[in-house]
Amino acid sequence: MVPNTLALVSSTKGCALLRDVQPEDILGRKPVGHHRGVDLTPVIGKVTLVTGAAGSIGSELVRQLRAYQPARLILLDNNESGLHDLVTELGDEACSNTVSVLADITREEALSQVFAWYRPQVIFHAAAYKHVPMLERYPHEAVRVNIYGTWLLAGLAQAHGAERFVLISTDKAVEPSCIMGASKRLCELSMFALARQNGCETRFTSVRFGNVFGSRGSVVPTFNRQIEQGGPVTVTHREMTRFFMTTSEAVNLVIHAACLTAGGDLFMLKMGEDIRIVDLAERMIRMRGLRPYKDIEIRFTGIRPGEKLHERLENASEVATQTTHPNIVRLDDPGDAFDPTAFADRVTRLIASCNPRCAVCQADGARLPPAVADAAPHDDARSPCLGCLTSLAETLAPNDPVHQILWAQATGARSDVS
């Protein structure tokens, strides 16, 4: 239906769109589809576990994996409402081979039961805390969920003979300037270390990519809401850029990467050119028939703690090798400073000493220093002790940005890493 002409002329919020906004309207390219050159047999007919199943990436993984005829599809999340909504969306036809599990990835007993009961063969690990400003205030939660949760899940996958374990990573893991990125980089290194353990039969791999449209906290739904309300549209910095991809194409490529891995791989998804956030905001305003800065104000709010102006998809030391899929490359780091065995041993010792005090090692000991505690108020019983953060920092070379950030948290003073 064509919008009311009088309302269109008098409105400052723009007219209703004559069609839905398509990804290519914003991306400037067609979304990536399936590629016949990749053998998808490794994920067909498997018992498959998706963690973070109620999230943006996790729920799309669930939707797409159903087409691969899983023997059983296990949906794990600690978000009760989100998990319920996903199960409701899937409908009655999914009941025969779909299992929903309400559990936290840091609860070893609950995870152990899942692995013992269902014996998942393929794991897609999408569960993580991801919002940069929030984790700058609560770094202990990034350590607890992103690092400890990943290590626990990966260890159970290996112990129960899982075939493949796919970590969903992020471009913020590249030369990280934030706690979230540092925690995800340590997760990538964990995959690298585990894959190189003697006798490891599980193919551990990481898939790294940038922002996806439509995810919680994504700028696109935020901008849509702000335009609907008549503005202002808020952008942190005029020159800020990000890489973007649709959720469906990112997940499609993640599944392809899972089939390509030989173990110990770090894959990167090709995401095209980066997009200036202010250009995206202006384009979305114009698509409503409105004028940026006149009908809808664009307000620049300043870069938030831990954010970068520009993200990168690969480190300077990483060498990209093309795979059989044109939109997936394998990243090889020729550096030999990282010792996978020493890293695995240190993280194993870190997690082995458990007591309910510290959220990570759970041992009694010194808490976070006042400078950090004051900036990030939290329940002391759930904060990591100094030994946890220090031990994690010591797994890396002193000039590594991840080392610098974790060390700064342990000493109560953030390094200026850009």
Instruction: List, for residues 85-128, the tens digit of each pLDDT value.
Output: 999 999 866 667 899 999 999 999 999 999 999 999 999 999 99
For residue 71, the SS3 value is coil
Nearest CA among 26, 18, 87, 52 for reference residue 249: 26
Averaged pLDDT of the chain:
79
What's the whole-number mean pLDDT along residues 38-60? Answer: 95
Alpha helices (H) along 2-122 = 5-10, 23-27, 56-65, 80-90, 108-118
Q: Hey, what CATH class is 19-216+243-272 in?
A: alpha beta
pLDDT of 216 strictly over 90: no
For residue 262, name the pLDDT band (cuts at 50, 70, 90). Answer: very high
What's the whole-number mean pLDDT along residues 212-227? Answer: 78
> What is the C-alpha to C-alpha distance for residues 54 and 58, in angstroms, rounded to an integer?
6
**Predicted local confidence at residue 11, as pLDDT:** 56
Q: Which residue has the higher pLDDT, 4 or 336?
A: 336
For residue 38, name the pLDDT band (cuts at 50, 70, 90). Answer: confident
pLDDT of 7 strictly over 60: no
pLDDT of 224 strictly over 90: no
**Predicted local confidence at residue 276, as pLDDT:** 87
Q: What is the per-residue burial (b if ≥16 Cβ within 10 Å, else e) of 62-90?
A: bebbbebebebbbbbbbbeebbeebbeeb
Q: Which residue has the higher pLDDT, 287 or 386?
A: 287
pLDDT of 394 strictly over 90: no
Catalytic residue among 46, 130, 172, 308: 172
Q: What is the distance of C-alpha 17 from the center of its chain?
A: 31
What's the whole-number mean pLDDT along residues 312-322? Answer: 81
pLDDT for 245-254, tens place per residue?
A: 888 889 999 9
**Predicted local confidence at residue 380, as pLDDT:** 40
* Residue limits of CATH 3.40.50.720 in the chain: 19-216+243-272
pLDDT of 325 strictly over 60: yes
Q: Which of 11-15, 199-203, 345-349 has the weakest average pLDDT?
A: 11-15
> What is the C-alpha to C-alpha distance for residues 69 and 92, in angstroms, rounded to an integer?
16
**Predicted local confidence at residue 374, as pLDDT:** 38
184 is catalytic: no
pLDDT of 290 strictly over 70: yes
What's the whole-number mean pLDDT along residues 369-385? Answer: 40
> What is the C-alpha to C-alpha distance for residues 387 and 160, in angstroms, rounded to an integer?
30
DSSP secondary-structure letter at 412? T
Q: Which of 34-38, 78-82, 208-212, 273-277 has the weakest average pLDDT?
A: 34-38
> What is the C-alpha to C-alpha distance for residues 250 and 363, in angstroms, rounded to an integer?
39
**Predicted local confidence at residue 261, as pLDDT:** 94
pLDDT for 61-97, tens place per residue?
A: 999 999 999 999 999 999 999 999 999 999 866 667 8
Cβ(74)–Cβ(101) under 8 Å? yes
What's the whole-number mean pLDDT along residues 165-190? Answer: 88
For residue 6, name the pLDDT band (cuts at 50, 70, 90). Answer: low
**Predicted local confidence at residue 259, as pLDDT:** 96
